Amino acid sequence: MIFDDTISGEFILKVLNSFDGLTEWVSEFLKNYNIEVQADKNYTLHFCAQLINQLREKSGPLTIYKIGVETAKLYKFPLNLELNKNPHNIFSLFNQAYELNFKTHHDVQFYFYEYVNDKALIFKSQTPFSCEFEKGFFYGIFDFYFNITDYQIEHSPLWACRNLGCNYCNYIISWK
């Protein structure tokens, strides 16, 4: 799997600066660990994953979950979401959305969507990001893009988890 795709420093800084009350803590963290993120530079997916892992070690999984939620608010999708408020339409296009948000030079196949029924789907992810980040990201997608308040996103290591040596994490997403 290739993790040399890049994302703009501007995007990373927007996410990191979106936290009410945590912006100063994140800035201090970056300074203490000699991590420099500049708006006019691009950073690899691997760098982003390492940054998230370092933040997780120092702040815990809840902060990483919140980073995932904030990232969802900035993520671009390849369709008009006002006309397509169905989660199936969005989750089936995650690989295309990835190409809008990252600079990539290869076919992207990090995400695998599976239709279960009109109110449920299975979503497999092979990104290098932590489970907490991805779960926050998926919750952020629902909170930000859909007018659905009754939904569940389940991730269980019993189904599949990169932390246990699998190639992907498996999420079951359902709504009413």
* Ranges in the chain, pLDDT < 70: 1-4, 19-22, 79-84, 104-108
Q: pTM of this prediction?
A: 0.81
The CATH class, in words, for 1-176 is alpha beta
How high is the pLDDT of residue 153?
A: 93
How high is the pLDDT of residue 1?
A: 45
Q: In terms of Cα–Cα distance, which of 133, 135, 123 is closest to 88?
A: 123
CA distance 148 to 91: 15
Tens digit of each residue's pLDDT (9 = 90 or more) over 122-137: 999 988 888 888 999 9
How high is the pLDDT of residue 19?
A: 66
